[in-house]
Structure 1
Amino acid sequence: MLFACLGISMVSCNNMLDVDPQDALDTEKVYSSVSNFEKGVLGSYSLYSPEYSVLIGSIMADECRLNPRNNGVNGFGNLLNRWEYTSEDDILLKAWKNYYADIYSINLLLENAGKVPVRNEQERSKKKSLVAELYGLRAMIHFELHRNFGASDADGNEALTIPYITDTDVNKKPGKISLSKFYEYIWLDLERTKDIDETVDFRMNKNAVTALEARVALYQKNYIVALAKSTQIINQFPLSDLSQYENIWKDKSPSEVIFRLKRSNDNKLRPNTLWEDYAAGRKFFQPSYKLMNSYTDSDIRLSNFNFNKDENTEEEFINKYPGNDFSDKVNDVKVFRVSEMYLIRAEANFFLNRKDAALQDIHELRKHRISNSAELNTIDLNTILNERYLELSYEGHRYYDLKRLKLPVKRLEKDLAAEGDQKDLNSNDKAYILPVPLKETIVNPNLK
């Protein structure tokens, strides 16, 4: 069996896939109509938790420092943060299981989509869109698995990454595949999204696919495509101005958000719960001094949300997800924002030796974030990566940005959890690349 997670029930938002995956092939109700098939597709969203990448991308990097009370056997993410984890780490296993379980659900729907009857041209078009949506989701989730468990993209086309699963045969034991083969699969799935819906909210739509294509192309170092795809989005979505920006994070405005996933109190894992245990009143992580000190006083990202102090403990806390009008502990997941597209285009232009264009995009972003922003005179890769650090903090990018370029993680001494902790994580260090969970490699040694 490929997945140690196959015993987990696949619960959709309407319980239509609430069956053991090995028995799911006998479930026919979801394929009885286009309407029911759409409910099955919605179930794939309810299963998917990109919050794992948000968490890992932050705590493995230099965005967080460990709260002193988040330690010992009851610690949450503390071993990942201190680079002392093993392949038995619980968070890594949960991320692997969640992503591959959702891929199984998607593949099950795709394999049986042909059974879904259509009564008219409208239903035919809807069914095509739903199938395209599933291909887009499958590509996105595989890419998250690659970002977490694959080799650095700087290692070249023959470096190994996770298997790309396109069927529901649980008896297969696939091994890792080359990066070139992985990207071949992912682009094939992305090409199959041409019939996807243009505008549907909280789900993969045409703009979400284009944003994903821009991100994938950047990692692949396909800068011409990254430039073209990011520009398509930039031409449609304006950056939020200083007065609008705070409302993005309070879910009051969808401004500059390309694709988001709905969250409620029913979601145990959501952006708000990654940094603090609300029930116990215990913070897991606080903002790193390195990140706090990187903002200027006139930067809206600092003054509005990142580093407030708890009135009871006087501890700084991560407040990028402050809640909405109905709950101070619930926020949607912002999967793609147009600011990322500006940063993708800037990096693509930089590597295409169009440095003036790269500088222009960085200036445009800074103008929408910093009052009376001073213009930069020159640009280099560090400038672009620093802007990504400031703009995309706690959104699941920093560790993956450094990893894809094979750059070290560098922390300040005062951000370390304990005296003597490792301050820098270099690309040749054992902890630099996350391992496939041990439970998976025991079942399938081909994943080693």
Structure 2
Amino acid sequence: MKKINKIIFVGLLAVLMGCNDAIDIRQPGRLDAANAFTNVEDLQLGLLGIYAQWDLTPEIALASNFCDEVSIGFDSGGQGLALYGFQLNPASAAGSNFWVRNFAFNNRASILIEAANSLSSEIDAADQAEFNNILAQAHFLRAYANHELLLYFSTDVRDDSTLAAPVIDFVPGLTFQPLRDTTGDLWAYINSDLDLASSLSNVQSDVTFISRDAITAFRARLAMERGDYPTAASLAQGLLNSYPIADRDQYQLMFLDADNTEIIMKLERTPNDPFDGQGATGSVNAGGWAGARFAFVDATLAGSPYFEMDRNVFNMLDPADIRFDVNVAPTSVISGDFDNDPDPVNNDILVIQKYPGSEGQPLMNDLKAFRSSEMLLILAESRAAMGNFSGAAELIQQLRTARFGSAQPLPVYNSMQEAFAGVLDERRVELVFEGHRYKDLKRIGVAAGRGIDRNMIDCLGQGNACTLSADDFRFTLPIPIVEINGNPAIGAEQNPGY
């Protein structure tokens, strides 16, 4: 049974969104946090409202459309062509979505945290564990929002002196106009929230809500991004001891929302919830069903795919690999000689079915926030970074063996670049259409000798946007014009290239 229902969401969003989505909770005459949250039950509803704002579809759309996971579909009406053509500027939806959405996310979590702290002395002993766990989840969710701001707006998340986003750890008034804080400052904010989340959380595992294991998985990801590979390796290995890699049957069922073997935490999607709808097709202003990032109707040839799978991704998928079955719809039209095909647009139609739908709703599936295969790949990257190339190769072999269902050859990496390239290539296959590619290329694309690599036949007819180096300035998003218009001083802190 789905745990989050529409009635709870609607009731709570009326409380949280009655105020302008900026930061005006303290306007005179409006319902403020002190009156909106008076007990643990209110806080629990508030927490569910913050969960209602957590969405991975903008990341999925950016990683797929801007990078090299999709090609323009035969049923395209022009959706997403600018982003596919590497066109990013302060007026683009990408910058405004990631900036505005995550600051709203941060603000809502701060409202709940301030309300909870004001109630802390009034909590009964019987409610203390639930109260602590609510607060733990709120701190985690705030950290997640600021992590997105860090990744997408800092030019270098491993250089503390670079500019990131403003650190706003309180509920400000409408006239507040912050400047950008440094990457180091934002890391400190994120880690402070995660320290509090870790100290307060009292649930070890929960597939649909934040738990201690989800916090650990997030910390492993952050340590990898920060370049703290020993910590990333230790955290990832601990989770792999508890969450086995799915076998072939479990893997296929996982993407039908019927198996949780490998899932550390996921975002549930169910009919009549706030994400039950198509959303903004061809845009990072996504929302809605995850599969609607690629098709209008369903994940079949007849389902009006406006994006198809890039041929280079398809070429990396072996038909004996269960990831082929999960990602390539059986209704696809596959050219037997693609490189020489006179009409590849009509003779090679690779329909994406990573999100076929569930509960009777096509294109709607739960979003996998953290799973054990990602932890394995974090461990592999960590081993590569620490010079253990054979250890990294063994992990890639382990993952491939699970996906093929039979022993696979051991890769051979003779340098860090080769090992990073091997890990990045495996992430491209394992995590395709899950929102990782943009961040992966930004993090280790240069070290791996990898960048955006679209199939030439696919992309030459679409503005010749076929390749892009991983050190291109567009792997950092621009401060959006909507922020600059309301906060002019921050315009002088625009990211390079924009």
Contact conserved, 1:260 with 1:332, CA < 8 A, in 2?
Answer: yes
2:457 equivalent to 1:414: yes
Q: Which residue of 2 aligns with 1:371?
A: 405
Whole-angstrom distance in 2 between the partners of 1:95 and 1:126: 31
- The one-letter amino acid paired with 2:429 is L
2:82 equivalent to 1:52: no
Structure 1 gaps, min length 5? 1-9
Contact conserved, 1:323 with 1:330, CA < 8 A, in 2?
Answer: yes
- Residues 65-104 of structure 1: matches in 2 within 5 Å? 65-71=71-77, 75-104=78-107
Q: Pick from 389, 405, 416 the counterpart of residue 355 of structure 1.
A: 389
Whole-angstrom distance in 2 between the partners of 1:217 and 1:18: 34
Q: Pick from 316, 319, 328 the counterpart of residue 306 of structure 1.
A: 328
2:158 equivalent to 1:136: no
Whole-angstrom distance in 1 between the partners of 2:297 and 2:179: 40
Q: 1:94: how far off?
A: 2.8
Q: Which residue of 1 aligns with 2:292?
A: 273
- Per-residue CA distance 1:166-188 (angstroms, 9 max, x = gap): 11114332222322222222111
Q: 1:274: how far off?
A: 1.3
Q: Which residue of 2 aligns with 1:440?
A: 483
- The one-letter amino acid paired with 1:345 is L
- Per-residue CA distance 1:108-135 (angstroms, 9 max, x = gap): 1111213336453231221111111111
- The one-letter amino acid paired with 1:143 is H
Q: Pick from 433, 439, 442 the counterpart of residue 400 of structure 1.
A: 439
Contact conserved, 2:166 with 2:180, CA < 8 A, in 1?
Answer: yes
| Pair 184,364 (structure 1): closer, same or farther in 2 beyond 3 Å | same
- The one-letter amino acid paired with 2:52 is S
Q: Which residue of 1 aligns with 2:25?
A: 24
Q: 1:247: how far off?
A: 0.5
- Per-residue CA distance 1:381-417 (angstroms, 9 max, x = gap): 1111111111000111111101122533222212316
- The one-letter amino acid paired with 2:50 is S
Whole-angstrom distance in 2 between the partners of 1:235 and 1:393: 24
2:285 equivalent to 1:290: no
- The one-letter amino acid paired with 1:224 is P
| Pair 423,123 (structure 1): closer, same or farther in 2 beyond 3 Å | same
Whole-angstrom distance in 2 between the partners of 1:240 and 1:137: 27
Whole-angstrom distance in 2 between the partners of 1:77 and 1:11: 31
Whole-angstrom distance in 2 between the partners of 1:210 and 1:348: 16
2:430 equivalent to 1:391: yes
Structure 2 gaps, min length 5? 1-8, 278-287, 334-345, 414-418
Q: Which residue of 2 aligns with 1:316?
A: 350
Contact conserved, 2:207 with 2:263, CA < 8 A, in 1?
Answer: no
| Pair 239,427 (structure 1): closer, same or farther in 2 beyond 3 Å | closer
Q: Which residue of 1 aligns with 2:259?
A: 253
- Residues 163-182 of structure 1: matches in 2 within 5 Å? 163-170=166-173, 171-182=175-186
Whole-angstrom distance in 2 between the partners of 1:427 and 1:14: 39
Whole-angstrom distance in 2 between the partners of 1:276 and 1:106: 33
Q: Pick from 332, 357, 364 the counterpart of residue 366 of structure 2.
A: 332
SS for the counterpart of 1:177 is coil
SS for the counterpart of 1:258 is strand
Q: 1:249: how far off?
A: 0.4
Whole-angstrom distance in 2 between the partners of 1:233 and 1:148: 27
| Pair 110,244 (structure 1): closer, same or farther in 2 beyond 3 Å | same
Q: 1:231: how far off?
A: 1.2
Q: 1:164: how far off?
A: 2.8
- The one-letter amino acid paired with 2:311 is Y
Aligned length: 434
Q: Which residue of 2 aligns with 1:5?
A: none
Contact conserved, 1:406 with 1:427, CA < 8 A, in 2?
Answer: yes
| Pair 211,419 (structure 1): closer, same or farther in 2 beyond 3 Å | closer
Whole-angstrom distance in 2 between the partners of 1:430 and 1:199: 39
Aligned CA RMSD, in angstroms, stands at 2.4
| Pair 87,309 (structure 1): closer, same or farther in 2 beyond 3 Å | farther
TM-score, reference length from structure 2 = 0.81
Q: Which residue of 1 aligns with 2:282?
A: none
Contact conserved, 1:69 with 1:283, CA < 8 A, in 2?
Answer: yes
Q: 1:350: how far off?
A: 1.2
SS for the counterpart of 1:335 is strand
Whole-angstrom distance in 2 between the partners of 1:23 and 1:220: 34
Q: Pick from 259, 263, 266 the counterpart of residue 269 of structure 2.
A: 263
Contact conserved, 2:295 with 2:307, CA < 8 A, in 1?
Answer: yes
Deviates more, 1:21-30 or 1:326-335: 21-30
Whole-angstrom distance in 2 between the partners of 1:373 and 1:65: 32
Q: 1:32: how far off?
A: 1.2
Contact conserved, 2:90 with 2:481, CA < 8 A, in 1?
Answer: yes
Q: Which residue of 1 aligns with 2:5?
A: none
Q: Which residue of 2 aligns with 1:239?
A: 245
TM-score, reference length from structure 1 = 0.90
Q: Which residue of 1 aligns with 2:222?
A: 216
SS for the counterpart of 1:16 is helix
Q: Which residue of 2 aligns with 1:116?
A: 119
- Per-residue CA distance 1:300-319 (angstroms, 9 max, x = gap): 100233344358x8732110
Contact conserved, 1:425 with 1:431, CA < 8 A, in 2?
Answer: no
Contact conserved, 1:152 with 1:405, CA < 8 A, in 2?
Answer: no
Q: 1:210: how far off?
A: 0.5
Contact conserved, 2:140 with 2:194, CA < 8 A, in 1?
Answer: yes
Whole-angstrom distance in 2 between the partners of 1:363 and 1:433: 33
Q: 1:162: how far off?
A: 2.0
Contact conserved, 2:219 with 2:235, CA < 8 A, in 1?
Answer: yes
Q: Which residue of 2 aligns with 1:162?
A: 165
SS for the counterpart of 1:400 is helix
